[in-house]
Chains A and B, each alone.
Chain A
Amino acid sequence: DGGITQSPKYLFRKEGQNVTLSCEQNLNHDAMYWYRQDPGQGLRLIYYSQIVNDFQKGDIAEGYSVSREKKESFPLTVTSAQKNPTAFYLCASSISENTEAFFGQGTRLTVV
């Protein structure tokens, strides 16, 4: 089945630790995105990538890092510099930046 997979669904980390969220797609999409969603809020763009080995910062990139070494994969690292990392993280992919996006099931990160 084609789709986009985020793992894990739930993640707990201690404050001060870096954590990497996985996002894999087998849709052959060029564009991939990471969003953060806080309770009752919309989606805020963290990073996006339109092609392998290239990515751009979104509105709230501080404290996060990404890589795009393969077309299928776009992992997000939440660093200890992110002041309030507890949130619901969503990854998406699309053929290009102006076509419909497919979302993963999300990762709920809790930092204690």
Chain B
Amino acid sequence: SQKIEQNSEALNIQEGKTATLTCNYTNYSPAYLQWYRQDPGRGPVFLLLIRENEKEKRKERLKVTFDTTLKQSLFHITASQPADSATYLCALDKLIFGTGTRLQVFP
């Protein structure tokens, strides 16, 4: 069955730097990949969707890449702020989620 992996260790970065989160998948070729943000005790909130024929997508300070050869998506937050601290989840099509990576941005 398909497997989706995100770095389970928290990512700690300084305010103003670029945060880069990784999502790897195996045994599958998704047509779409989505990224969500989840704050403690709340439901995830949709951020970006990228299709297999798109290499890159941007939304304000967010950028997502999708490399179907490497079976990997990278999620970037530029000029990070403490308010960006949250858990970020990637999801394959049919909404199969990874375990998420917790991002902590410190001043």
Interface residue ranges, A against B (CB under 8 Å):
33, 35, 41-45, 48, 88, 90, 92, 94, 97-106, 108
Instruction: Confirm or deny: B28 has a beta carbon within 8 angstroms of a beta carbon on chain A.
Output: no
Interface residue ranges, B against A (CB under 8 Å):
6, 31-32, 34, 36, 41-46, 49, 89, 91, 93-100
Query: Could you tell me the distance between the alpha carbons of A43 and B94 in the complex, rounded to whole angstroms?
Result: 13
CB pair A45 B99 closer than 8 Å:
no
- Chain A residues with CB under 8 A of B43: 90, 92, 103-106
Query: Could you tell me the distance between the alpha carbons of A101 and B42 in the complex, rounded to whole angstroms?
Result: 14
CB pair B44 A43 closer than 8 Å:
yes
CB pair A35 B34 closer than 8 Å:
no
Query: Could you tell me the distance between the alpha carbons of A45 and B89 in the complex, rounded to whole angstroms?
Result: 14
Query: Could you tell me the distance between the alpha carbons of A100 and B37 in the complex, rounded to whole angstroms?
Result: 12
Query: Could you tell me the distance between the alpha carbons of A44 and B97 in the complex, rounded to whole angstroms?
Result: 7
CB pair B97 A92 closer than 8 Å:
no
- Chain B residues with CB under 8 A of A41: 99
CB pair A98 B46 closer than 8 Å:
no
Q: How far is the CB of A110 from chain B (nearest CB, A)?
A: 14
Query: Could you tell me the distance between the alpha carbons of A81 and B95 in the complex, rounded to whole angstroms?
Result: 26
CB pair A101 B46 closer than 8 Å:
yes
A-B contact pairs, 8 of them (CB 8 A): A42-B99, A43-B89, A43-B97, A48-B95, A92-B95, A98-B31, A101-B46, A103-B45
Q: How far is the CB of B57 from chain A (nearest CB, A)?
A: 13
Q: With A41-B99, A42-B99, A42-B100 known to touch, is A97 a contact of B93 (CB < 8 Å)?
A: yes
CB pair B46 A106 closer than 8 Å:
no
